[in-house]
Amino acid sequence: MSEVARICSELIRIDTTNPGAGERDAAEYVAGQLSEVGIEPVLFESAPRRTSVVARVPGDSPDALLVHGHLDVVPADPAEWRLHPFSGEIVDGCVHGRGAVDMKGSLAMTLAVVRDWARRGVRPRRDLVLAFVADEEATGEYGSRYAVERHAGLFEGCVAAISESGGFSVTAPARLGGPAEDPAEIVRIYPVAVGERGTAWMRLTARGVAGHGSKPAVDNPVAELCRAIARLADHRWPVRLTPAVAALIEALSKALGEPIDTERLEREAERLGQVGMLFKGQIRNSANPTMLDAGYKVNVIPGTAEAHVDGRFLPGYQEEFLATVDGLLGPKIVREFVNLDGAPSAPFPSPFFDELCSALVAEDPQARPVPYVMAGGTDAKSFSRLGIPSYGFAPLLLDPGLDYFGMFHGVDERVPVAGLEFGVRVLDRLLAGRG
- 108-124: per-residue pLDDT in tens? 999 999 999 999 999 99
Give the burial class of 39: count Cβ atoms within 10 A of its Cβ; 0-12 exposed, 13-18 middle, 19 or more buried. buried
Query: How far apart, in whole angstroms, are the C-alpha atoms of residue 327 and residue 307?
Result: 17
Residues 222 and 329 in one domain: yes
Q: 121 in a domain, yes or no?
A: yes
Residues 129 and 9 in one domain: yes
* Angle at 111 (CA atoms; ends 106, 113), nearest 5 degrees: 100
Q: 414 in a domain, yes or no?
A: yes
Residues 13 and 123 in one domain: yes
Question: Residue 172: what pLDDT?
Answer: 86
Q: 361 in a domain, yes or no?
A: no
Residues 155 and 298 in one domain: no
**Mean pLDDT over residues 210-217, rounded?**
92
Q: 412 in a domain, yes or no?
A: yes
Residues 84 and 214 in one domain: no
Give me the chain's average pLDDT, please. 95
Rounded to the nearest 5°, which phi and psi values hold at 121? 75, 25
CATH code at 333? 3.30.70.360
Residues 332 and 412 in one domain: no
Q: 360 in a domain, yes or no?
A: no
pLDDT at 46 over 50: yes
Question: Residue 184: what pLDDT?
Answer: 58
Residues 227 and 148 in one domain: no
Q: Which domain holds residue 314?
A: 198-238+284-341
pLDDT at 185 over 80: no
Question: Please, which pLDDT band fits residue 177 given cuts at 50, 70 and 90?
Answer: very low
Question: Residue 433: what pLDDT?
Answer: 84
Domain count, the chain: 2
CATH code at 118? 3.40.630.10
**Mean pLDDT over residues 61-86, rounded?**
97
Q: 180 in a domain, yes or no?
A: no
